[in-house]
Amino acid sequence: MAMTDDAQTDFTKLTDADWRERLNAAEFRVLRQAGTEAPFVGEYTDTKDVGVYSCRACGAELFRSETKFDSHCGWPSFFSPLAGEAIIERHDDSLGMRRTEVLCANCHSHLGHVFAGEGYDTPTDLRYCINSISLTLSTD
């Protein structure tokens, strides 16, 4: 599990060796190498607990449970991040298709992808499909 530091740490300056000390092998593969955990196995896929989801790598707050919804896709889904500046969205052309990757703005760790226009009954028509292993839930 990731260690937390004070607000003075510039997580974007950490090396792969630093990250390997902070994260276990599965966390490193997803968060630092843009891997994906298997569907329907993540800790938070079906969680209904109320709280704040933070980046497992650096502790930055990313999503609130009030924006989590059942998409039945196999990963936790949110219709909005906590704040626009909490995440970075960038084009991802891997796997032969154009997707939008979601990164933690604080440490640039891979969280998952965001999809638009899928027809979910949510206020934004967005689905932030996030790997459970990228998150830590703090309950109220």
Dump pLDDT digits (tens) for 46-60. 999 999 999 999 999
Q: How confident is the model at residue 93 (pLDDT cuts 50, 70, 90)?
A: confident
Identify whether 129 is a catalytic site residue.
yes
Percentage of the chain beyond pLDDT 90 is 82
Cβ(125)–Cβ(116) below 8 Å: yes
pLDDT at position 122 over 60: yes
- At 3, is the pLDDT very low, low, confident or very high (cuts 50, 70, 90)? very low
Residues 6-57: pLDDT tens digits? 567 889 899 999 999 999 999 999 999 999 999 999 999 999 999 999 999 9
**Structure-token pair, residue 110:** 């891979």
55, 58, 104, 129: which is the annotated catalytic residue? 129
What does the block give as tokens for 134? 């990228």
CATH code for 12-139? 2.170.150.20
Is the pTM above the cut of 0.85? yes
Query: What percent of the chain clears pLDDT 70, i.e. is strictly above it?
Result: 94
Q: Are 35 and 101 in contact (CB under 8 A)?
A: no
Cα(35)–Cα(46) distance, integer angstroms:
21
Cα-based angle 17, 53, 112 (whole degrees, multiple of 5)? 60
